[in-house]
Amino acid sequence: MLERLAPAEVLKAATCLTPDVLEIRGPSRLSGAVTLEGCKLASVTMMAAALLTDDEVVLRRCPDLLDQRVLGECLSRLGGTAAWSADRVHLRCAGIEAGADLPAELIGAVHGTIYLLPALLARNGVARIARSRGGCDIGVRPISNLADILRALGAKVRLGETIEARAPAGGLVGKRLRLDYGEQNNKFISGATKAAILAGVTARGETIIEGAYWRHPIVQLCGLLRAMGAEIEGDGTRCIRIRGVPTLHGADFSLDSDRLVLGTYVAAAAVGGGPIRCTPASLSLLEVEAGAFRRMGMSLDEDDGSVVASFAGRPRPAALTTETIDTDLGPMFAVLMTLAAGRSSLEDVVWERRFRYAGALRRMGGDNACSARMLNVTGVPALRAARVHAHDLRAAAALILAAIAATGTTRLAGAAHLARGYENLPKVLNMLGADIRTVWRDAR
């Protein structure tokens, strides 16, 4: 567990192993085996779910990332404990104080702290936390959708720099909820679905979530809550049904592998040839993305609890949209499109500033143009090294892959973003054959 430090020191301690500047010499041939960490997005909400019981909750294969460290420190400051041991975290929230305040600097460091709000509300009937603007700067992160869910379940919610929520005297009450946010549904329904689940599992009566988010992190969250005694059906579909129970108990739960980390290493095989064996994994984790990789020429196979990815030649062009593929894997596909033999396009309907990496790819010799939410790419036969900057987590990973394919030494600033999504990505890529050197300070 992190020591009780000032918020700035907590964040520094959590990111100390990730340098902000890397030098990547390419091109490199990549092959070998990777052990995947557990799902980041699921574990963040699972750590908030530990607030729903006084018993111990153990999360096995929990990734040790900035978000998880910040959530653990938040639980500790509220009166609970978060103890790390090997690849698991032990959470106990019996000592949680209803009136405890968390430093705004800590809450604002990562986006996942927002899920403390519905969990604290369900536990104590009242919640008060600073508004978080953490996470990658890729677009507006809505909070009104989460507030609407809590209001629908009976809470009074006041939005400001501090978010305050209070349940009625008898507690939250289940309701039929319809999540219909139009064209930006993926941005809105993910957080709204998580909030509805966290608040609904102990609400009186039945909560039905229509138009729910369906991807794997939701299935994982519901799996943990069922292990804690919750009554949930329909996760993985667009309609989730919850029958509220008065109390939950502890659980010992193992997370599935992170699908976004798996997708990143599959893309690494595309730029480095492979084969790369990712364990434990199945192609079901990648849902529609596996089909997109194959259409671009990837060889993907399942073998004894592993996914094996390999590639030969140039990628084939493709037209993709984040209405189907995960927006967080869009930058990886953009690198493949940059090297493809032909014209490709990538539409992002979720985040309005997702394509900030496009300029870096152009500096490396790529040919692309952004128009509103569309990235149009004409593939080039090779990339060249350049000095580039990553503005967000997935852009940092994608630009490392581009540098592995490029000729010369690329200097990448902004690599500290990786601390929020990957355990030692540069080190693992070096084990696969990459040539990545840490700089720690940007001497430009």
Instruction: Output the CA–CA distances (angstroms, integers) from residue 302 to 34, 61, 275, 280, 318, in the order listed.
Output: 14, 21, 12, 10, 24
- 359 φ, ψ to 5°? -65, -40
Pairing of strands 408-413, 374-378: unpaired
Q: What is the pLDDT of residue 219?
A: 96
Determine the pLDDT at residue 3: 41
Q: pLDDT value at position 351?
A: 78
What does the alpha-carbon distance between residue 20 and residue 414 come to, in Å, rounded to a whole number?
Answer: 5
List strand residue ranges (DSSP E) for 45-171, in order.
56-60, 81-85, 88-92, 126-130, 156-158, 162-166
pLDDT score for 283: 96
> Is residue 246 reached through a cis peptide bond, with omega within 30 degrees of 0 on the bond before it?
no
Q: What is the CB neighbour count within 10 angstroms for residue 98? A: 13
Low-confidence ranges of the chain (pLDDT < 50): 1-5, 7, 15-16, 442-444
- DSSP character at residue 384: B
Domains of the chain: 9-36+258-438 (3.65.10.10), 40-243 (3.65.10.10)
**SS3 of 368, please?**
strand
Exposure of 146 by Cβ count < 10 A (0-12 exposed, 13-18 middle, 19+ buried)?
Answer: buried
With contact defined as beta carbons under 8 Å apart, do 414 and 390 qualify? yes
Which residue type occupies 3?
Answer: E
Amino acid (one-letter) located at 162: T
Residue type, 126: V
Reported as a single tens digit per residue, the pLDDT across 243-269 is: 999 999 999 999 999 999 999 999 999
pLDDT for 182 equals 57
Predicted pLDDT at 410: 98
Per-residue pLDDT, 2: 38
Q: Angle at CA 71, nearest 5°, toward 68 and 72?
A: 85
Predicted TM-score of the model (pTM): 0.92
Task: Produce one character per residue of 313-350: b if its CB has 16 or more CB atoms within 10 Å, e if not.
Answer: ebbbbbebebeebbbbbbbbbbbbbbbbeeebbbbbbb
Q: End-to-end alpha-carbon separation of the chain, Å?
A: 36
Annotated catalytic sites, by residue? 136
pLDDT of residue 436: 97
Residue 422 near residue 264 (C-beta atoms within 8 A): yes
Per-residue burial over 264-284, b if 16 or more Cβ lie within 10 Å, else e, is bbbbbbbbbbbbbbbbebebe
**How far apart are alpha carbons 267 and 374 in whole angstroms?**
21
Check residue 255 and give its pLDDT: 97
Residue 99, C-beta contacts closer than 8 angstroms, at least 6 positions apart = none
Residue matched to tokens 């702290």: 113
How far lies 124's CA from each of 52, 98, 111, 184, 294, in Å? Answer: 9, 6, 22, 32, 49
